[in-house]
Amino acid sequence: MIRTQICTTIRCNVCGTELTDESEGYTPHATSAAEIADTARLLGWTVTDDGLTAICDTSDDTHQAARNTGSTPEPRPAQLTGQDPLPLPEPDAPALPQPPVTTLCGSTRFWAEFAEITLRETVAGRIVLTPGCNLKTSHPLWDDPAAAQALKERLDVLHLAKIRAAALVVIVSDQSGYIGQSTHREVAYALSLGLPIRHDRVDLTTGTVTSSTIHPAR
């Protein structure tokens, strides 16, 4: 029987070190915050009664000060290992522009074509919303026919929400231009919202895309 169970671990509030049992060579897990706090205390950590502050057994001044006060210093901005720290915007800096959103529609038989248009739209500086599941492939989440049908209905509703979020809708197909019944419904919905619609026919052999306007921008 497969059973889903959530495991809890603990990290030091000061340095971010995860609790490890060096004698056993593993990371302790527990099924509750109270249980992992007790384990940490047994391994020499300081954990407050409310479980909000955990301090590892490192013996430098910063950790010792945290043990003495029961609190931790303000967290430092995270830095990417081996790279310069990410620049933080100045308080009076103008807000960054929000990129437009493109939502892709079409049959998932054109999964590779979806990837090509996603790449092109992303390079063009647009946020891309696309089908996230290909029910035509096998996966434990939808191998059961009843589960697949229920999931399809939920995904249909979810994709309509993606269309509502779009500034542009792009129909994706191969060179045949095939548009299935589900895509026709999505196009009709986009038309009812007055969204611009484009049809991209992808030729994976030549790497070319033929685009045509279905409904222009207002």
Of 26, 55, 74, the residue that ends a domain is 74
pLDDT digits (tens, 9 = 90+) for 19-50: 887 766 677 777 777 787 888 788 888 888 77
Q: Please report which confidence band the pLDDT of residue 1 belongs to, taking 50, 70 and 90 as the band edges.
A: very low
Q: Please report which confidence band the pLDDT of residue 84 belongs to, taking 50, 70 and 90 as the band edges.
A: low
136 and 196 both lie in a single domain = yes
Mean pLDDT, rounded, for 10-20 = 83
Mean pLDDT, rounded, for 126-132 = 97
206 and 108 both lie in a single domain = yes
152 occurs within a structural domain: yes
128 occurs within a structural domain: yes
pLDDT score for 211: 96
pLDDT digits (tens, 9 = 90+) for 191-200: 999 999 999 9
198 and 147 both lie in a single domain = yes
Residue pair 182/211 in contact (Cβ under 8 Å)? The answer is: no
66 and 124 both lie in a single domain = no
pLDDT score for 209: 97
115 and 193 both lie in a single domain = yes
Q: What are the beta bridge partners of residue 209? A: 202
> How many structural domains compose the chain?
2
SS3 59: coil
127 and 173 both lie in a single domain = yes
Asked whether the predicted pLDDT for residue 72 surpasses 80, the reply is: no
R_g of the chain computed on alpha carbons: 26
Lowest mean pLDDT among 10-24, 129-143, 146-160: 10-24
pLDDT score for 172: 98
Residue 154: CB atoms within 10 Å = 10
165 occurs within a structural domain: yes
What is the domain extent for residue 54?
Answer: 7-74
Q: Please report which confidence band the pLDDT of residue 59 belongs to, taking 50, 70 and 90 as the band edges.
A: confident
214, amino acid identity: I
Q: Please report which confidence band the pLDDT of residue 94 belongs to, taking 50, 70 and 90 as the band edges.
A: confident
141 and 50 both lie in a single domain = no
62 and 115 both lie in a single domain = no
Q: Which two tokens stand for residue 41?
A: 């205390």
pLDDT score for 179: 96
137 and 201 both lie in a single domain = yes
139 and 207 both lie in a single domain = yes
108 and 163 both lie in a single domain = yes
pLDDT digits (tens, 9 = 90+) for 153-185: 999 999 999 999 999 999 999 999 999 999 999
Residue pair 211/196 in contact (Cβ under 8 Å)? The answer is: no
